[in-house]
């Protein structure tokens, strides 16, 4: 533990003559009291030290206001002559520092007990000496320059390495990861473990079972954090403390990384725990189910949603009381955490309930999921020497961003009925306020400091009737009940905005929304003080008296970015390097994805400033430390074309891409999902501008767009061609396309190849396949490789011939049973949703209610999770023909289009289109006159040249005739 600088010096020199402290801030109108001057004979080199000690103790005594009878004792110790010299008893003050100072008890905590319980602030984390020495020794045994190069090889950029490139894992690369990343990963895990102790008590791990299993992409960050939190790493305390961790199993896939983790942990106390290192999860080696399972910085390294869910199911199968997931606060890390939260809570049942212990104060849908901002937190780390040298950075501190989730078994605890609402809400500030109010009632006086270091005595008048918030006497604190209340406190998701007289906080509220809370000083001094001392990530216990403001446009992180060489930013927007290791003889590949980019001077920051109409705006590119340039996005074109939306109707930037997680959230919230077909760029822009959630490139384009007689005629190449056009227009909806007839029936391999072409060449996000139980192997295969699949059940147009036409399906008991069972099988095969067409509405609702995935209906009633219609039906493009019962025309584009075309033909035939002046372009008169003059000159010159040529031609003929005549005559 690092001590403050004055304390460290005092421990080196435990007996120092120090001048007495000036009196606390008191005042008197009757007696003038001056503080004693500095005692003589003190070494001048201790001057700065004494000033720091003086300031420290002044802060500790600030706010302590003794009544007048106590102040008289201070006054009596002063010399009436003005104290030109020190008194025999108070001239020198000897400070004797104890061997084990308890700084926590140096002064009373001014925050309320509830605020202390909800605090997530850990301060500056220092790497344990054993770990720092172990890493430094490994670096000393190797060339530090090679460690630096290994660290640089982890960093990748779009210019130097493509996303598909792979780095071969070597011992040097593992050491570079330990030197550059392990300290920050340890700091993040340490913060989470500390929060668990504060929320659950010091013996929480013993009550949970004692054992710990960590599956990690790090080199034992969780192992060191747990050991340090238990106090087993403090010198000489390993044998005194009874360890709470019985067994600890660290699972790391990389062979060289595992070997290095074992080397680093060899100096851990031998009696602390039974530690085992494995490359695969081995629950059979544990003597009992673990009390804690952790996945540290591993979830985002798994490439697909299916693999991440498999990993989560493996962790849940260990039957631990608590599950902790920690990852980076990058977009990929936050997406992995948010998807894991949604998936794990969906597995909760009344028989086996689960709840989110932290950071969420509720178990509903996450209000920050699929937004532009991650639910992330920050922990400051004191960089060890090897970390600074590896990153070539002179900064001594580093802020580590992380996202985390703690899932616990059981029902979410709730406070008992009748609990005092003020329990634990009164701290040092509240007690001082109560003491001051009591002193005023009793009519006492106190000393207060005035200018010049003098004090005056003032009489206190009872003004309690003037205060809007009378002081509240503290109630007895029941720690266990206070911990139960903490499950319903809002959590700060951004740094609080501290203004003069009030504090503004954006919080994740137990109601499941982001709310802005404001705490002014006039409401409660204790609540205001706790609000000013609150920090990002804290649980805040006080209820605001003002109206909460619902935040619907995100939360702004009020953190000023720092640019420093060697600071790592983890972002999915940059190419990533993949670490791959092949174990000789086994052919087994262990891989992990690392997204590392280094912030450097000159990085470009892009900001958006919307225009008034929402159709044009200004994009500003600013180079850090350089000039700012901006350009307009308004482009003048010769011909009219669709305008690409640059902002939403409210002027904000375009909405984010709709993902599977967002679709699951809409289904969970009972918000109907909208889906429309699109066949080309214009129809795709319609769905984009209207905010449609899903866009289907259906094989119906064979009939409504290409003019074929059946949906079975369209080919895979034609589907890919139209998919490209749609993907260029629909930027944000989730796009999926029909797998056309004849492209998947032959075999599973044929189907996979066709789907891969659709995804790679067409740019779609998923595929829809018509069929029954025979397509289940294909659905399993596609889901296993990470391609979203939505089976099409009920009426299947591709099989209309075998179904004797377009008939409603599932009307009989046997047909309904087959449809229901097939839907269950498709869910088990890995389908992300099911499309139901032309089935009874009560059957569609029953299927939807009994599936864990969502459904999209067309002619299936309102009981499905969403609806889909053909875009030509919605627009009324073919309104003259017969339409199915479930089709509704929301417009009459056919009539409007015919009117437009007929009007065009009539205007052109009548000579009224185009209209001069309005629909034509003009030319300046002088330019036109010059053009005519040029034509006239050219015409005259052309006429002269023609006449000369005629004369010459006539002369030629005459000459020829004369010659011929002469020849004739001569001949005669």
Active site residues: 837
Return the percent helix, strand and coil in the chain, to nearest 5. 40, 15, 45
E strand or H helix at 768: strand 766-770
Which run of H or E residues covers position 196? Answer: helix 182-200
Q: C-alpha distances in angstroms, 576 versus 301, 308, 642?
A: 11, 19, 35
Judge contact between 58 and 21, C-beta under 8 A. Answer: yes
Radius of gyration of the chain (CA): 39
Alpha-carbon distance values, 507 to 554, 936, 940 (Å): 11, 81, 86
Closest to 225 in 3D by CA, of 303, 292, 139: 292
User: Please, are residues 179 and 264 in contact by the beta-carbon 8 Å criterion?
Assistant: no
Specify whether the CB–CB gap between 750 and 744 falls below 8 A: yes
Element (H, E) at 761: helix 748-762
Residue 114's Cβ-count burial label (10 Å; 0-12, 13-18, 19+) is buried
Rounded to whole angstroms, the Cα distance separating 946 from 940 reads 10
Q: By C-alpha distance, which of 520, 492, 478 is closest to 376?
A: 492
Q: Beta-carbon neighbour count of residue 367 at 10 Å?
A: 23
CA distance linking residue 871 with residue 674, whole number of Å: 12
**Contact at 8 Å (CB) between 229 and 192?**
no
| DSSP-derived secondary structure for 21-48 | PPPPS--BSS----PPPPPSS--GGGHH
Distance of alpha carbon 766 from alpha carbon 737, whole angstroms:
7
Residue with tokens 């500030």: 429
Segment holding 945, helix H or strand E: helix 925-971
The DSSP code sequence of 365-407 is --TTTTSSS---EEEEEE--HHHHHHHT---SEEEEEEEEEEE
* CA–CA dist 309, 65 (Å, integer): 59
Q: Are 355 and 406 in contact (CB under 8 A)?
A: no
Q: With CA atoms as reference, report the closest residue to 217 among 264, 268, 279, 293.
A: 279
Among candidate residues 40, 57, 50, the one with its CA nearest the CA of residue 92: 40
Which residue pairs, CB below 8 angstroms and at least 24 apart, start in 652-658? 652/553, 652/610, 653/608, 653/610, 654/731, 654/732, 655/691, 655/732, 656/370, 656/371, 656/372, 656/732, 657/731, 657/732, 657/734, 658/370, 658/693, 658/694, 658/732, 658/733, 658/734
Widest pairwise Cα distance in the chain: 168
CB 256 within 8 Å of CB 175: no
Token reading at 383: 């960089």
Query: 377 and 120 in contact (C-beta within 8 Å)?
Result: yes
Contact 326, 296 (CB under 8 A): yes
With H, G, I as helix, E, B as strand and everything else as coil, classify residue 912.
coil
Distance from C-alpha of 874 to C-alpha of 869, rounded to nearest angstrom: 7
């Amino acid at each position: 533990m690092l001590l403050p600088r004055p304390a460290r010096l005092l421990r080196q020199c435990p007996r120092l003559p120090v001048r007495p402290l000036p009196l606390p801030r008191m005042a008197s109108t009757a007696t003038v009291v001056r503080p004693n001057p500095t005692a003589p004979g003190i070494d001048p080199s201790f001057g700065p030290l004494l000033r720091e000690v003086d300031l420290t103790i002044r802060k500790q005594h600030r706010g302590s206001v003794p009544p007048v009878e106590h102040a008289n004792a201070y006054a009596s110790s002063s010399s009436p002559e003005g104290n030109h010299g020190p008194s025999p008893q108070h001239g020198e003050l000897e400070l004797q520092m104890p061997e084990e100072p308890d700084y926590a008890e140096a002064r009373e905590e001014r925050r309320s007990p509830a605020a202390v319980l909800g605090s997530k602030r850990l301060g500056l984390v220092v790497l344990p000496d054993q770990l720092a020495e172990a890493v430094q020794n490994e670096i000393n045994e190797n060339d530090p320059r090679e460690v630096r190069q290994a660290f640089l090889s982890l960093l990748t950029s779009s210019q130097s390495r493509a996303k598909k490139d792979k780095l071969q894992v070597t011992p040097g690369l593992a050491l570079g990861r330990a030197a550059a990343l392990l300290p920050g990963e340890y700091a993040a895990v340490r913060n989470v473990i500390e929060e668990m102790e504060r929320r659950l008590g010091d013996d929480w791990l013993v009550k949970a079972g004692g054992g710990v299993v960590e599956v990690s992409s790090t080199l034992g960050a969780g192992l060191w954090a747990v050991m340090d939190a238990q106090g087993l790493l403090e010198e000489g305390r390993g044998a005194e403390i009874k360890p709470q961790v019985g067994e600890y199993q660290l699972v790391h896939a990389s062979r060289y990384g595992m070997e290095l983790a074992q080397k680093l942990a060899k100096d851990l106390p031998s009696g602390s725990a039974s530690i085992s290192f494995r490359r695969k999860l081995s629950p059979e080696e544990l003597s009992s189910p673990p009390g804690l399972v952790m996945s540290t910085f591993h979830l985002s390294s798994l490439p697909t949603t299916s693999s991440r869910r498999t990993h989560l199911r493996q962790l849940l199968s260990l039957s631990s009381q608590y599950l902790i997931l920690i990852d980076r606060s990058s977009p990929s890390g936050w997406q992995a955490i948010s998807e894991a939260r949604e998936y794990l809570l969906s597995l909760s049942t009344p028989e086996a309930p689960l709840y989110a212990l932290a950071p969420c104060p509720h178990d509903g849908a996450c209000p920050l999921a699929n937004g532009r901002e991650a639910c992330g937190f920050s922990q400051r780390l004191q960089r060890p020497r090897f970390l600074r040298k590896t990153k070539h950075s002179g900064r001594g501190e580093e802020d580590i961003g992380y996202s985390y989730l703690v899932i616990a078994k059981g029902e979410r605890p709730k406070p008992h009925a009748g609990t005092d609402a003020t329990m634990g809400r009164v701290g040092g500030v509240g007690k001082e306020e109560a003491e001051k109010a009591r002193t005023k009632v009793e009519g006492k006086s106190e000393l207060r400091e005035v200018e010049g270091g003098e004090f005056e005595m003032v009489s206190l008048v009872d003004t309690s009737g003037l205060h809007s918030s009378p002081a509240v006497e503290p109630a007895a604190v029941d720690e266990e009940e206070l911990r139960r209340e903490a499950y319903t406190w809002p959590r700060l998701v951004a740094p609080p905005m501290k203004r003069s007289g009030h504090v503004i906080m954006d919080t994740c509220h137990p109601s499941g929304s982001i709310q802005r809370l404001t705490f002014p000083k006039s409401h409660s001094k204790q609540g205001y003080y706790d609000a000013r001392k609150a920090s990002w990530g804290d649980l805040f216990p006080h209820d605001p008296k003002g109206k909460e403001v619902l935040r619907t446009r995100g939360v702004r992180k009020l953190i000023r970015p720092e640019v420093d060489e060697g600071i790592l930013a983890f972002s999915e927007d940059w190419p990533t390097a993949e670490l791959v290791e092949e174990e000789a003889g086994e052919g087994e590949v262990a891989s992990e994805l690392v997204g590392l980019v280094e912030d450097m001077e000159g990085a470009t920051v892009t900001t958006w400033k919307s225009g008034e109409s929402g159709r044009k705006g200004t994009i500003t590119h600013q180079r850090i430390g350089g000039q700012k340039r901006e350009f307009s996005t308004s482009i003048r074109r010769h011909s009219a074309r669709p305008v690409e939306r640059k902002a939403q109707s409210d002027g904000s930037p375009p909405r984010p891409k709709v993902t599977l997680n967002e679709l699951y959230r809409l289904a969970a919230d009972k918000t109907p999902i909208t889906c429309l077909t699109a066949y080309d760029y214009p129809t795709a822009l319609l769905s984009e501008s209207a905010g449609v959630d899903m866009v289907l490139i259906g094989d119906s384009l064979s009939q409504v767009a290409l003019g074929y007689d059946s949906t079975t005629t369209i080919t895979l190449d034609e589907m890919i061609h139209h998919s490209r056009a749609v993907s260029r227009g629909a930027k944000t909806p989730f796009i999926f396309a029909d797998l056309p007839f004849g492209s998947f029936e032959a075999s599973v391999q044929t189907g996979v190849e066709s789907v891969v072409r659709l995804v790679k060449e067409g740019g779609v996000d998923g595929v829809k396949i018509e069929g029954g139980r025979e397509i289940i192997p294909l659905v399993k295969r596609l889901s296993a490789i990470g391609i979203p699949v939505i089976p099409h059940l009920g009426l299947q147009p591709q099989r209309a011939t075998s179904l004797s036409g377009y008939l409603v399906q599932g009307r009989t008991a046997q047909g309904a049973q087959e449809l229901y069972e097939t839907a269950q099988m498709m869910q088990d095969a890995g389908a992300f949703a099911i499309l139901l067409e032309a089935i009874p509405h009560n059957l569609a609702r029953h299927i939807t209610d009994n599936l864990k995935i969502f459904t999209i209906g067309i002619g299936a009633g309102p009981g499905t999770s969403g609806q889909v219609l053909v875009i030509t039906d919605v627009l009324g493009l073919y309104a003259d023909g017969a339409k199915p019962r479930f089709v509704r025309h929301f417009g009459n584009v056919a009539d409007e289009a015919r009117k437009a075309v007929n009007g065009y033909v009539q205007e052109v035939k009548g000579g009224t289109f185009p209209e001069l002046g309005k629909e034509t372009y003009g030319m300046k008169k002088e330019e036109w006159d010059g053009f005519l003059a040029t034509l006239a000159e050219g015409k005259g010159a052309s006429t002269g040249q023609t006449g000369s040529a005629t004369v010459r031609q006539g002369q030629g003929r005459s000459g020829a005739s004369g010659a011929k005549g002469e020849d004739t005559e001569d001949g005669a």
